[in-house]
Chains A and B, each alone.
Chain A
Amino acid sequence: MNQHSHSLPASYDAAPLELTRRAWPWPLLTLLLVAFVLIPVLGDDYWLNAILIPFLILSLAGLGLNLLTGYTGQTSVGAAGFMAVGAFATYSLLLRVPGLPLPLALVGGGIIAAGVGFVFGIPSNRIKGFYLMVTTLAAQFFLEWVFTKFPWFYNYASSGTISAPRLELFGYDLHSPLGRYLLVLTSVVLLTWIAVNLVRSQIGRNWMAIRDMDTAAAVIGISVDRHKRLAFAVSSFYLGVAGALWAFAYLGTASASSFDINRSFQILFIIIIGGMGSIAGNFIGAAFISLLPLLLNQIGQGLLSGMVDAGQLQNLQKIIFGMLIIWFLVKEPEGLIRLLANLGERLKAWPLRF
């Protein structure tokens, strides 16, 4: 590649052979094999229910927000609001459209969330940066309020809580932990695959151009407003599906308060810590944010239980968690994914660095 870097890239047909020859992505295939075959065989209820399912769903939500914030540069703190739309829309579809298969209900929930996201993306035509962030904050509170205020959304349940009516696919009951894990995994893998291709496509490149400098993007003929709204819609689609999975495949129930501002912050932290503008970063960020506190809790109990007072032990875990976040961000502001990439580069040249 290096000798070509000062000229225009060659066309695809005339490109050097190594560009067109596709190598099998062995590490990825191994990972998928582990996820689809090994984990269902080995994993127990605790691992599936409490670790892997929430981790995958939060990764998906992070991915959704990353498309908007990391790739298009539009900061949003309304992620959980759009998750709520997805959850309540999927619930409504399953409840009110008899015989609708689950995948279609999920996609439908996503599409409705995308529509709502599109509407809340309209202000991005005129306002940018922190001001736009405030409008997404308004979206968060507005959506939370809507799903508390109007009982139609939760089918007039006395407590405002929705629960999964049925989880089945072509006659298979997906209620077992394994079934729910496979449902989540399949959705996440499919949507991640689409996202990878999306950001490599014309649309993704336009998004990144807008992120890097929207005036320049407009000058080279990209329709900035349209692409920003599109980013809002696509991002909300992902968040909506994640919200529906969170409600039905993970907890089994949800109410508006399951998707409060804290959830939005959690997702924002996932992408900041994992890495903005990176697909794999979402997974690493989600692991860090959702699994590290559990790990610390387990370690704390294993090592210090009985020696340190329980209250202080738990405060200590919070302190350690906070310090790790600061330390990682000071070390590498571009996120954990960059840290890992640097580590990989170093390892390649490891014994003979100079």
Chain B
Amino acid sequence: MHNSVRRVFVGVALSLSLQTPLISLVQAAPNEQFVPLATYRVGPYASSGIPWWAGTLDYLRYINEVEGGINGVKIAWQECETEWSTDRIVECYERYKNGKDGAPVAFFLTHSTPASYALMEKGAADKIPLIDPAGGRTESSDGRVFPYAFPLLLTYYGQASVGINYIAQREGGFDKLKGKKIVTVYHDSSYGRETQAAIELLANKYGFENIQIPVAHPGNEQSVQWRQVRQLQPDWVFLRTWGVSTPVAIKTAARFGFPVDRIIGDVWAGSEADVIPAGPAAKGYQALAPFPGGDSFEIHQRLREHILNKGKSDLKDLSYFGKVYYNIGLVNAAIVVEALRAGQAHFGHRPLNGEEGRWAFEHLNVDEQRLKQIGFSGLLQPLQVTCADHEGGGAARVQQWDGEKWVLVSDWIQADRETLQPLIEAKSAAYAQEKGITPRHCQAER
């Protein structure tokens, strides 16, 4: 009996080891740039984590193997499994914040809003920039108070504003918003509540009626909410759900006869995983996309040629190539690579440490021409980060689900950052006062 059990184990172990392709071992050295990656390949969010990290890894591999590193500086990375739990991400940060084998760390990708909050003060104390594109703490886009936090691309307030701007565009101008009813159906969590202040401000400015309807986590049952929506007869619904609550919302809306093309999904309600489970009901559903889906951008051609076709991709299932989560990984990797490039232009062609990493991110300037060169035109928005502005972009495109794939239906739509800025500054000033931080003088630092 014992022997047969043992034999099964040996068999399983052998077959596992035979199946796995050999991957070249990445060992860090002092002349390399070390990048710790807090991955989540197991646990409840693995289905989004696996393509996400594959996108990041494929791009880093492309930079290392095809372009020979960033100006010759190779990137060495080390994953730690976190299951997307905040305490494991913090542990990963602590484990690798001092680099590995002499290779320094220039930034840490938190990939999680709760983790961005948890690491906020640690990052500032250790001088490690925390990068969380399209997430993170909204007011940390004020770089004067949060020197080491970078909620790049589009903050939560920005997402709300882009949503409203797109609705105005569809209605034919901001003056047409007056008297319209816009319902926000949101996941009742800190993520879902984050945009409320911004939408209220915009409602006062444009005179539309702002109605907020919460969906309790996890959101498997939403008849009550959508019955309420049907009674209200809103002109538009802004859907700020997440995870399983998105397909359920789309299906329930269809059941109550609310037209799906009047629902605008938020960034985190706009991947294939959000619409495929909803089936035909999702056809016509639109969502904000700071990272659009699709595999026909220039960078995808290059990756297909150099990485996918050579069997070097991190994807197990190649059908995920070009899906929204994969592209998020790609975009994130491209942003940090461009930032390192900006830093190297100033500090010389060598690995950067955290303090230099901050300088690098604060001088990140990716214009349309540069986007064309790196093959991200249309996939990534032009980005200019400064000392005071750690968001940089503030735009998203809108994509529509045609039943099989996402189709882009708009160009980059800019958030109304001037209107939002006082709100953000008030919050960051409150934070500065609470923590006793004296804001930096960006002018003096030049």
B273 within 8 A of A: no
How many angstroms between the C-alpha atoms of A164 and B97 in the bound complex?
Answer: 22
Of B17, B21, B117, B194, the residue contacting A163 (CB under 8 A) is B117
Contacts of B316 in A (CB 8 A): 311
Shortest Cβ distance from B44 into A: residue:
A262
Chain A count of residues within 8 A CB distance of the other chain: 41
Shortest Cβ distance from A47 into B: residue:
B94
B50 within 8 A of A: yes
Contacts of A148 in B (CB 8 A): 188-190, 193
- Given A148-B189, A158-B197, A314-B41: A252 and B120 interface contact (C-beta under 8 Å): yes
- Given A159-B117, A159-B137: A309 and B190 interface contact (C-beta under 8 Å): no
**Do the beta carbons of A159 and B121 come within 8 Å of each other?**
no
Chain B count of residues within 8 A CB distance of the other chain: 50
Of A145, A301, A306, the residue contacting B23 (CB under 8 A) is A306
Contacts of A253 in B (CB 8 A): 114, 117-118, 120
Shortest Cβ distance from B195 into A: residue:
A158
Shortest Cβ distance from A298 into B: residue:
B95
Interface string of A162-174 (1 = CB under 8 A from B): 0101000000000
Contacts of B193 in A (CB 8 A): 148, 158-160
Give the distance to chain B from A261, nearest Cβ to Cβ, in Å: 11
B87 within 8 A of A: yes
How many angstroms between the C-alpha atoms of A74 and B17 in the bound complex?
Answer: 46
- Given A308-B20, A317-B81: A158 and B122 interface contact (C-beta under 8 Å): no
Of A50, A309, A316, A317, the residue contacting B90 (CB under 8 A) is A50
Which residue among B91, B97, B113, B314 has the maximum number of chain A CB atoms within 10 Å of its CB? Answer: B91
Which residue among B19, B42, B316 has the maximum number of chain A CB atoms within 10 Å of its CB? Answer: B42
How many angstroms between the C-alpha atoms of A305 and B22 in the bound complex?
Answer: 10
Give the distance to chain A from B49, nearest Cβ to Cβ, in Å: 10
How many angstroms between the C-alpha atoms of A159 and B186 in the bound complex?
Answer: 13
Of A51, A165, A252, A301, the residue contacting B78 (CB under 8 A) is A301
Of B39, B80, B94, B139, the residue contacting A46 (CB under 8 A) is B94
Shortest Cβ distance from B43 into A: residue:
A318
Contacts of B320 in A (CB 8 A): none
Give the distance to chain A from B274, nearest Cβ to Cβ, in Å: 20
- Given A50-B94, A148-B189, A310-B41: A258 and B25 interface contact (C-beta under 8 Å): no
Interface string of A263-307 (1 = CB under 8 A from B): 000000000000000000000000000000110010001000111
Contacts of A318 in B (CB 8 A): 42
**Do the beta carbons of A252 and B194 come within 8 Å of each other?**
no
**Do the beta carbons of B81 and A314 come within 8 Å of each other?**
yes
**Do the beta carbons of A252 and B94 come within 8 Å of each other?**
no
**Do the beta carbons of A50 and B91 come within 8 Å of each other?**
yes
Shortest Cβ distance from B24 into A: residue:
A306
Shortest Cβ distance from B423 into A: residue:
A158
B216 within 8 A of A: yes
Give the distance to chain B from A257, nearest Cβ to Cβ, in Å: 6
Which residue among A51, A293, A310, A317 has the maximum number of chain B CB atoms within 10 Å of its CB? Answer: A310
**Do the beta carbons of B81 and A159 come within 8 Å of each other?**
no
Contacts of A145 in B (CB 8 A): 216
Give the distance to chain B from A311, nearest Cβ to Cβ, in Å: 5
**Do the beta carbons of A257 and B81 come within 8 Å of each other?**
no
Give the distance to chain A from B8, nearest Cβ to Cβ, in Å: 13
Interface string of A197-226 (1 = CB under 8 A from B): 000000000000000000000000000000
Interface string of B192-218 (1 = CB under 8 A from A): 011011000000000000000000100
**Do the beta carbons of B50 and A252 come within 8 Å of each other?**
no
Give the distance to chain A from B325, nearest Cβ to Cβ, in Å: 15
Shortest Cβ distance from A44 into B: residue:
B98
Contacts of B197 in A (CB 8 A): 158
How many angstroms between the C-alpha atoms of A162 and B21 in the bound complex?
Answer: 45
* Residues 32-73 of A contacting B (Cβ, < 8 Å): 45-46, 49-51, 54
How many angstroms between the C-alpha atoms of A54 and B90 in the bound complex?
Answer: 11
**Do the beta carbons of A257 and B114 come within 8 Å of each other?**
yes
**Do the beta carbons of B24 and A297 come within 8 Å of each other?**
no
**Do the beta carbons of B26 and A159 come within 8 Å of each other?**
no
Q: Write 16 A-B pairs (CB below 8 A) sorted by A numbering.
A: A45-B94, A158-B139, A159-B193, A251-B86, A252-B122, A253-B114, A253-B118, A257-B189, A293-B88, A297-B81, A305-B78, A306-B24, A310-B23, A311-B316, A312-B16, A314-B42
